[in-house]
């Protein structure tokens, strides 16, 4: 969040620019026709169950892993480094003048799939980083004299490792051998419930050899089909017990269902109690940067969560304190501040302390600093009556130790603790990013992530397309990454500026915010991007700041607040 009026942060637009360039360079070629009944998968060790046998990876970039896997017990993990893009290849025997369908399941960083030496037109396809398994598919026709082709996967320079599994070169038998025909997989074991929210239950189970997917059943009815060994069932009622089973699938059929487990949803979504189903968050400025100076009592009633901005770093690593800017706020005293906090809470509102901001320098990067952070935030909660903490660290975050710090704080504060986060757009583009990892690590105690949909430039949506900020599509397609990446809908909010002066770029009119909320929760008022499903439990919206909102006559809260509270 910006302290200076209208001051833009450094904009980071590499993700959108790179995606646009690559999309132009690596187009999928639609291929030929349907395979016949006699066709086979000509790839060998297609699921990496025999390590890297039959595969060659550049610069030692490849290894097999047991998790995540799409099917079976192993998958490829290949890591780009320096000028190496982690290219893994296999030479596959094929027939001349024949059509083949090439496919693979990928996850993680940017991933590419292609074939060379086809004798006609070589092909490739790609996807940007993906938090879940995604199938890449293309096809090619061999030349008159072609008896082998080289198929490959690779990543992209400077990007995260990618995973690949279940490669297929499906077509006429080239005579080079392939994997044996699949058999119906065994019944999954180890089904358990790692976490729950008020509206969702997360499930996990052991991988099954030979499986290419899994079906999830709730109360005997199939509700999900997934590629990995975990799933989150959403849209559930609070404080309710549900029975779940899982089966394994492949091309040979479906296994018997697993032993049932029971998952019971929480009384509230994420951390905190007595929050409305749909909530509005506003940041309150403890400084004067040209926006309207407010006391906590001045914040309009449309705001359900008020994030006091900001806590200050101390000389002790990880520790924070709070210094009310009495002089800058017209003589606002600490006693008046505390009384106003109590009055808001009596009216059903939550008041939390925000850590970070554009210039925040709090570093939680060791066990000691994690303990200091938890102890100092808890002390502020006791001193000022804060209901929780907001994490708005825009200059780096260590997922391991911030997770440790917030879990320690939760143990001290109890189930009523409010934990919110306000990452920048780049921080939530992939589950491999530390902010996203932290949110998933504390999913069982997390209240809401209000990503900042501004000061960012163009970004990738969950469909792999590039969207420009300031539009319905930018809000919905980027929210989809979080909604499909593991967060419960009740843990996702849309963070936007309250006025054109509240951010350097990315302001959207309240009507656009409301359209995005309707698109995500009801499937209406969408732009060119429309989610594959709706998320009626979406938490709501956030703005920077209540002060800039007041400067503009509270136009934002007057329009967005009632709309949020009227969501389904």
Task: Let me know: does 154 contact 136? Beta carbons within 8 Å.
Answer: no
Q: What angle do CA 306, 308, 310 make, to 5 degrees?
A: 150
Write down the residue that tokens 């934002």 correspond to: 556
SS3 state of residue 10: coil
- Crossing angle of helices 555-565 and 510-522, rounded to 10°: 10
Q: Where are the domains of the chain?
A: 31-171, 192-264, 269-466+473-507+540-565
Active site residues: 394
Per-residue pLDDT at 272: 52
Residue 428, pLDDT above cutoff 50: yes
Residue 286, pLDDT above cutoff 90: yes
Give pTM, 2 decimals: 0.58
What confidence category does residue 37 fall into, taking pLDDT thresholds of 50, 70 and 90?
Answer: very low
Q: How far is it, in rounded angstroms, from Cα 290 to Cα 131?
A: 41
SS3 state of residue 460: strand
Q: What share of the chain is helix, strand, coil (3-state, %, to 5)?
A: 20, 30, 50
Task: Let me know: does 496 contact 559? Beta carbons within 8 Å.
Answer: no
Where are the extended beta strands (E) located within 314-421? 320-321, 350-357, 388-393, 418-421
Per-residue pLDDT at 58: 96
Q: What are the C-alpha distances in Å from 286 to residues 319, 346, 564?
A: 19, 22, 26
Q: How far is it, in rounded angstroms, from Cα 565 to Cα 233?
A: 24
What confidence category does residue 50 fall into, taking pLDDT thresholds of 50, 70 and 90?
Answer: confident
Q: What angle do CA 276, 278, 279 make, to 5 degrees?
A: 75
Per-residue pLDDT at 2: 59
Write down the residue that tokens 């395979």 correspond to: 35
CATH number for the domain formed by residue range(s) 269-466+473-507+540-565: 3.20.20.80
Per-residue pLDDT at 269: 42
Q: What angle do CA 488, 494, 499 make, to 5 degrees?
A: 170
Residue 34, pLDDT above cutoff 60: no
Q: How far is it, in rounded angstroms, from Cα 280 to Cα 291?
A: 20
Kindly report the CATH class assigned to 192-264.
mainly beta
Provide mean pLDDT across the span 360-388.
93
Residue 496, pLDDT above cutoff 80: yes
Per-residue pLDDT at 24: 37
Provide mean pLDDT across the span 360-369.
88
Residue 57, pLDDT above cutoff 70: yes
What's the number of CA atoms in the CB half-sphere (13 Å) around residue 526?
17
Q: How far is it, in rounded angstroms, from Cα 295 to Cα 333?
A: 10
Provide mean pLDDT across the span 230-242.
84
User: Whole-number mean pLDDT of the chain?
Assistant: 89
CATH number for the domain formed by residue range(s) 31-171: 2.60.120.260
Tokens matching residue 532: 């594959």
Lowest-confidence region among 17-31, 180-194, 331-345: 17-31
* Residues contacting 145, CB < 8 A, separation 6+: 96, 119
Lowest-confidence region among 109-118, 273-282, 288-297, 326-335: 273-282
Cβ-based neighbour number of residue 500 at 10 Å: 13
404: DSSP letter: H
Residue 189, pLDDT above cutoff 60: yes
Residue 11, pLDDT above cutoff 70: no
């Amino acid at each position: 969040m910006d302290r200076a009026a209208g001051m833009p942060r450094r904009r980071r637009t590499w993700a959108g620019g790179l995606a646009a360039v690559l999309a132009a360079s690596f187009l999928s070629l639609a291929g030929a026709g349907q395979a016949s009944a006699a066709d086979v998968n000509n790839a060998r060790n297609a699921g990496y169950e025999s390590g890297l046998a039959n595969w060659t990876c550049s610069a030692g970039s490849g290894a097999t892993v047991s998790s995540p896997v799409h099917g079976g017990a192993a998958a490829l993990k290949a890591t780009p480094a320096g000028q190496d893009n982690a290219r893994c290849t296999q030479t596959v025997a094929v027939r001349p003048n024949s059509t083949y369908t090439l496919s693979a399941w990928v996850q993680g960083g940017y991933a590419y799939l292609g074939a060379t030496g086809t004798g006609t037109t070589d092909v490739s396809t790609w996807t940007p980083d993906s938090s879940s398994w995604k199938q890449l598919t293309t096809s090619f026709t061999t030349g008159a004299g072609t008896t082998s082709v080289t198929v490959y996967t690779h990543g992209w320079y400077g990007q995260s490792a990618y995973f690949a599994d279940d490669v297929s070169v499906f077509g006429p038998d080239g005579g080079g051998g392939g994997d044996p025909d699949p058999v119906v997989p065994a019944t999954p074991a180890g089904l358990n419930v790692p976490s729950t929210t008020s509206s969702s239950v997360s499930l996990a189970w052991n991988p099954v050899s030979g499986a290419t997917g899994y079906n999830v059943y709730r109360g005997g009815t199939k509700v999900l089909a997934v590629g990995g060994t975990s799933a989150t069932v959403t849209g559930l009622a609070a404080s309710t017990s549900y029975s779940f089973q899982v089966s394994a699938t492949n091309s040979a059929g479906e296994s018997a269902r697993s032993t049932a487990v029971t998952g019971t949803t929480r009384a509230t979504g994420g951390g905190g109690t007595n929050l409305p189903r749909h909530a509005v968050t506003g940041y309150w400025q403890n400084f004067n940067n040209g926006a309207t100076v407010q006391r906590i009592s001045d914040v309009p009633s449309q705001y359900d969560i008020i994030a006091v901005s900001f806590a200050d770093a101390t000389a002790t690593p990880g520790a924070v304190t709070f210094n009310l800017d009495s002089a800058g706020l017209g003589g606002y005293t600490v006693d008046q501040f505390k009384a106003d906090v109590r009055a808001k809470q009596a009216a059903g509102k939550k008041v939390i302390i925000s850590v970070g901001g554009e210039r925040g320098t709090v570093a939680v990067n060791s066990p000691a600093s994690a303990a200091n952070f938890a102890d100092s935030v808890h002390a502020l909660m006791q001193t000022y009556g804060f209901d929780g903490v907001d994490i708005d660290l825009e200059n780096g975050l260590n997922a391991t130790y911030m997770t440790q710090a917030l879990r320690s704080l939760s143990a001290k504060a109890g189930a009523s603790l409010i934990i919110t986060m306000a990452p920048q757009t780049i921080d939530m583009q992939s589950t491999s990013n530390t902010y996203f990892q932290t949110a998933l690590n504390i999913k069982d105690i997390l209240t809401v992530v209000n990503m900042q949909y501004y000061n960012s430039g163009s970004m990738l949506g969950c469909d792999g397309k590039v969207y420009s900020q300031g539009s319905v599509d930018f809000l919905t397609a980027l929210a989809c990454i979080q909604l499909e990446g593991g967060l419960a809908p009740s843990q996702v909010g849309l963070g936007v500026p309250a006025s054109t002066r509240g951010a350097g770029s990315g302001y959207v009119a309240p009507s656009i915010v409301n359209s995005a909320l309707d698109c995500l929760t009801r499937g209406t008022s969408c732009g060119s991007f429309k989610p594959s499903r709706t998320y009626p439990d979406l938490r709501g919206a956030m703005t920077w700041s209540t002060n800039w909102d007041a400067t503009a006559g509270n136009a934002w809260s007057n329009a967005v607040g009632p709309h949020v509270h009227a969501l389904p």
